[in-house]
Chains A and B, each alone.
Chain A
Amino acid sequence: MTLHNHKLTYKAFGDCSLLIEFPVLNQQKELHELIKFQSYLKQKLQHKIFDIVISFNSLCIHFKKPIKLGKIQIKIEQILSDRSYLNQLIYPKHWEIPICLDPIFAQDLIEHFEGDLSKVMKYQKRICDLEFTLGFYGFQPGFCYLAGLPEEMAIQRKKVPNRTTLKGSLAVGAQQLGIYPQDSPGGWCVIGKSPIRFFDVNKDNPLFASIGDRISFKPITMDHYAKLKDLVELGMMPLKNTNVYGNN
């Protein structure tokens, strides 16, 4: 399944934004294709747009000036049909993120499983055995949405959000996994906490990883968590990444 085979829906969103919708893409290959399309469009439309925001089932182009839906749709369809976007090169990396799964950081999950700690640990272990794809950023600065959670592991969003979800929390919202880069109210189920700084506005690129990168989680003890936290406070980035070859 590739993007140009899907039925796409084009909608005007306000005066200056174009929303393109498609069926949910949560396979790594499909997401990489979407990212290629986004980056190709950014080059093609460079001077006419502010940014392009993608999600698992949409792509939204924020233009600088008001648009005419029919005209712009024809242009995008041409870009899609000539398939040059598929030649865009992306270089995904693999990140291993340390995560502390101590019950103190997993109160939401414990509540979800009604206090059954063996179910909690089993769920956490499955998360650490899986590999995810960073699909997009949204919600708040540096909040990443990860794809690759099996359907049966989905946990519904809370009706009444937590007042504060702590910075570094790894959380599940429906079939999406996300990491909170700042303390914020949050309706997702927290399953653990990482000591890493995921968004640093003092860097040229404040993000730690790029969309399309692969992410996995390595469990660490409370002691290790505290040590890494100290390093992060000193401005270090104790995070490993490796290049991923030959899987476009």
Chain B
Amino acid sequence: MSMAIINVMEPGFSTAVIDLGRRSFQSSGVPISGPMDGISFRMANSILNNFEGAAVLECTVNGPTLCFDAPTTICVTGAEVDLFLNEDPESTNKPINIEAGDILRIGNCKKGMRCYLAIKHGFHSPEYLGSKSFYYPISPKSFLSAEDELEYSELEQLKPVKQSRIRSSIFLHKESLWVVKGPEWDLVHKQEHKLINTRMTIGPNNRMGYRIDSDIETPNSNMFSSAVIPGTIQLTPAGQLLIATADCQVTGGYPRVLVLDEIGLSILAQKRTGQGISLNWKRD
């Protein structure tokens, strides 16, 4: 297998190399930095029959324009996006064969906010603390920029691609997220009606977390810092909910009232500011 190069012609709004992240450096204060939407990440790799943690591009809001210098097979999952191969429309959720010199353009995310571009055998970017995931200052940068180069394996023989595609992610329409009680749930259990089965509006967000306005009264608590995991819903002193996501701090000092599961995190990762969600108890 010889090494091939993608030239980044346009980087997109915020595009990053992402794999399953660095999970064994949390005790050094290092965030995990896995995919925001783990379900679409896994789907992209499994459609190409890649290994589970192969590095992909996570594209937020709109995608990059990429020029390939050798044949390979790719796949795009997650948000509904306009996809063009040499300016001809292409479909998501199925393998796409690429020839040397092809230009792939990923446009705006129309439904959802993040799409995942997987490539056969994964991107061969440098590893930092055991992961290729971008996270500054662990990796030298947070996002791709124009004229960056990405390495991948040239495929000598492309298999004919089946025309069938997987049904696009049904969870792009979902608004209900499953939660379980967090370690400090007892502090707010009397305000359950303000938290559970209530429509809430998404505020400012990034890969570290999502802020959500609420009218919950924050009880006095002078907490020492303690562990936080992606999915943790913390209550800030101002009464906002702060949902920890892929690049979240490994410890924090706010009460951890609820915890989202991976499906909930994936649904959330496709939502943008102003959209609605509701939190619902996860049944055993």
**Does B229 sit within 8 A of A, measured CB to CB?**
yes
Which residues of chain B (168-190) have a CB below 8 Å from chain A?
Answer: 180, 182-183
| A173 to B252 Cα, complex, angstroms | 12
- A51: nearest residue on chain B (CB-CB)? B26
- Main SS class of interface, B: loop
Q: Are A62 and B128 in contact (CB under 8 A)?
A: no
Give 1 or 0 for each of B240-271: 1 = CB within 8 Å of chain A CB: 00000000011111001001011000000000
User: Which chain A residues border B225 with CB–CB below 8 Å?
Assistant: 55-56, 138-139, 145, 176
- Main SS class of interface, A: strand
Q: B213 to chain A: closest CB distance in Å?
A: 17
**Does B231 sit within 8 A of A, measured CB to CB?**
yes
User: Which chain A residues border B251 with CB–CB below 8 Å?
Assistant: 53, 55, 136, 138-139
Q: Are A138 and B229 in contact (CB under 8 A)?
A: no
Q: Are A53 and B249 in contact (CB under 8 A)?
A: no
User: Which chain B residues border A91 with CB–CB below 8 Å?
Assistant: none
Known A-B contacts A11-B183, A13-B183, A159-B237; A55 and B226 likewise in contact (beta carbons under 8 Å)? yes
Q: B267 to chain A: closest CB distance in Å?
A: 16
Q: Are A182 and B237 in contact (CB under 8 A)?
A: no
Known A-B contacts A19-B226, A51-B25, A51-B27; A140 and B261 likewise in contact (beta carbons under 8 Å)? no
- B28: nearest residue on chain A (CB-CB)? A137
Known A-B contacts A15-B261, A54-B27, A136-B27; A201 and B227 likewise in contact (beta carbons under 8 Å)? no
User: Which chain A residues border B231 with CB–CB below 8 Å?
Assistant: 14
User: Which chain B residues border A11 with CB–CB below 8 Å?
Assistant: 183
| Interface residue tally on A, bucketed by range | 35 or more
Known A-B contacts A14-B229, A55-B224, A141-B137; A50 and B24 likewise in contact (beta carbons under 8 Å)? yes
Q: B141 to chain A: closest CB distance in Å?
A: 13
User: Which chain A residues border B146 with CB–CB below 8 Å?
Assistant: none
User: Which chain A residues border B25 with CB–CB below 8 Å?
Assistant: 51, 141
Q: Are B29 and A140 in contact (CB under 8 A)?
A: yes
Tell me which of B180, B183, B226, B229 has the highest count of chain A C-beta atoms within 10 A of its own C-beta.
B226
Q: A180 to chain B: closest CB distance in Å?
A: 11
For B, the interface residue count at a CB cutoff of 8 angstroms equals 34
| A13 to B229 Cα, complex, angstroms | 8
**Does B16 sit within 8 A of A, measured CB to CB?**
no
Known A-B contacts A50-B24, A55-B251, A201-B128; A142 and B259 likewise in contact (beta carbons under 8 Å)? no
Q: Are A57 and B27 in contact (CB under 8 A)?
A: no
Q: A39 to chain B: closest CB distance in Å?
A: 10
Q: A14-B232, A14-B259, A58-B224 are known contacts; what are 11 more A-B pairs with Cβ within 8 Å?
A: A15-B262, A53-B250, A58-B227, A60-B227, A137-B27, A139-B29, A139-B250, A142-B29, A176-B225, A201-B129, A201-B137
The residues of B with any CB-CB pair to A shorter than 8 Å are 23-31, 128-129, 137-138, 180, 182-183, 222, 224-227, 229, 231-232, 237, 249-253, 256, 259, 261-262
The residues of A with any CB-CB pair to B shorter than 8 Å are 11-15, 17, 19, 21, 24, 38, 50-58, 60, 62, 136-143, 145, 157, 159, 173-174, 176, 182, 199, 201, 206-207, 211
* 24 sample A-B contacts, Cβ–Cβ < 8 Å, listed by A number: A14-B229, A14-B231, A17-B227, A19-B183, A21-B226, A51-B23, A53-B26, A55-B226, A57-B224, A58-B224, A137-B27, A139-B250, A140-B29, A140-B249, A141-B29, A141-B137, A141-B138, A173-B253, A176-B224, A176-B225, A182-B137, A201-B129, A206-B28, A207-B28
